[in-house]
Amino acid sequence: MIRDVRAAGRREWLGLAVLVLPVLLVSVTVTVLYFALPFLGAELKPTGPELLWIVDIYAFLLAGLLITMGTLGDRIGRRRLLLSGATAFGVTSVIAAYAPNAELLIAARALQGAAAASLMPPTLALIRDMFQDQRQRRMAIALWAASFAGGSVLGPIVGGWLLEHFWWGSVFLINVPVMALLLVLGPILLPEYRDPRPGRFDLLSAVLSLAAVLPIVYGVKQFAAGGFGPVAVLSVAAGLAVGAGFLHRQRRLPDPMLDLRLFAGRGFTMSLITSTLAVFALVGLFYFITQYLQMVLGLRPFVAGLLTLPAAGAALAGSILAAVIAQRIRPGCIMGGGMALGAAGFLVVSQLDAGSGRWLLISGLFLLGGGIGAVQAVASDMIVAVAPPERAGSASAVLEAATELGGALGIAILGSIGLAVYRGESAPAGRVGLSPGEAEAARETLGGAVGVAARLPEQAAAELLDVARTAFTSGMQVAALLGAVLMAVTAVFAAILLRAVRVDASAADPSAADLSAVNPAVADPSAVDGRTG
């Protein structure tokens, strides 16, 4: 039976603009700190591991709590959760801005990540509620995906401008007025939606989901930095054990936090994997790019940020183009082509050296942004298309948890690999005439080498910087090559495994049809209406 669906009007499209605000800001916050690292390092003097934790902990907590928050939003109301999260995000941003030391900043970033987890799931789920027409929904999700991918690129631009005019804490304070705007416009333009039959919220599942994510991430980080040490192995093993317990509990609960039937669909699962690996590569690479522009090429923060703008523009264009051609081309071709385009961008970036021209970098970022924008748009639409309306929040949370975790692991793994290459190739810096303490600081990070060079005579400083910049660029080249291989392999698998799946996944994915049989709302979004006010 075919039902008429209501076309979205002006209020819904204005509401989409409001929903893009937290997505853009949360994405910007992941990368905006990159350009502040040299300034932050000079004032707070964090160690190398502390510097990575300042960047990582936000995304780790965000990823670990997304599933819990997605389920919570389905139960208490998605708009209510969104507005509560906006308040918490603004408060924690102020705390981070005025942190007096590295330890407090790490703690503030953890709280900020927890607050951000309550912002992300409601946005995509509310788009599913507001846009019932398939074509309109696809375009709305494409714009949502573009803001997510573009925000990662716009972060350095915003951060660069702020750092040229204010102190490093300003990169956090920009969140406050945006969150205030969301609090004003949200109740006016956004509908409320909750599951009319939510069931019981399982607190133990929430604890298990977080307890599974954090040890795994920490263990992988330790493994990438130092090899198969006992701490790394035990952490990963503990996380996997807790994760197995979490999944076992979800199978037994009548109202699970995570509906495992969603993963039976090839479209859902492969879209999730492809999106995660795309973000893994993108965010991991940008950890290097921002430092390369400032500390290798010596560009001012704002100018360095502007050089990343082509990637944001390409992400927007790729998302919209993917939404348009999805009417005629199957998602496997689009996602496979997008990953292949991203792999080409990584290969271009892998050719950079300490004296490369800017156009080579811009070309690589343009290819990378366009490819990942297309992948994110189609993958996001695939995932929300197969989820029942009352589970849209938790399905969105799975997507966002996976991509956020992918970004965090991209920094941890690619960043740690690059750091290992840097430490190995920067060893000759100790022959410049440094004291043992200065030599250790110079080998720890590129920022440490820049700080030591500032206190040396001109010739010794030039020798140290030459060794350090070459070593850092070598680490970035290795990371870029690994990213290229990863994206190329994923492109092949996406094209093959999704070759028979259409964007309206419920019509083409047999396992999605199975889910529809359990809950008819999958096939008919109007079958369950939990809207209020």
Rounded Cα distance between 243 and 435, Å, is 47
- Domains of the chain, by residue range, sit at 11-193+257-526, 202-256
- Among 1, 23, 160, 49, CA closest to 419: 49
Q: What is the pTM of this model?
A: 0.74
Mean pLDDT by 10 residues, the chain (533 residues): 61 86 77 72 72 77 81 81 89 87 86 86 82 80 77 70 80 87 88 73 82 78 65 85 88 79 78 85 82 82 77 83 81 87 91 79 88 85 73 73 75 79 71 70 76 79 82 87 90 83 47 38 37 46
- Among 208, 184, 173, 127, CA closest to 383: 127
Please, how many CA atoms are within 13 Å of residue 425, restricted to the half-sphere of its CB?
21
Rounded Cα distance between 126 and 513, Å, is 23
- Among 385, 284, 302, CA closest to 342: 284
The CATH number corresponding to 11-193+257-526 among 3.40.50.150, 1.20.1090.10, 1.20.1250.20, 3.30.70.80 equals 1.20.1250.20
- The one-letter amino acid code at 36 reads A
Rounded Cα distance between 217 and 213, Å, is 6
- DSSP3 helix / strand / coil % (the chain, rounded to 5): 80, 0, 20
Query: Any alpha helices (H) in 195-354, and if so which ranges?
Result: 203-226, 230-252, 266-291, 301-306, 309-325, 331-349
- pLDDT of 345 reads 92
Rounded Cα distance between 267 and 269, Å, is 6
Q: Nearest-5° angle of CA 74, CA 77, CA 78? A: 75
* Residue 497, C-beta contacts closer than 8 angstroms, at least 6 positions apart: 266, 270, 332
- pLDDT of 5 reads 61
- pLDDT of 527 reads 34
- pLDDT of 30 reads 66
- pLDDT of 344 reads 94
141, 380 Cβ separation under 8 angstroms: yes
Strands 192-193, 531-532: parallel, antiparallel or unpaired by DSSP?
A: antiparallel
Rounded Cα distance between 231 and 221, Å, is 10
* Residue 296, C-beta contacts closer than 8 angstroms, at least 6 positions apart: 354, 446, 469, 472, 473
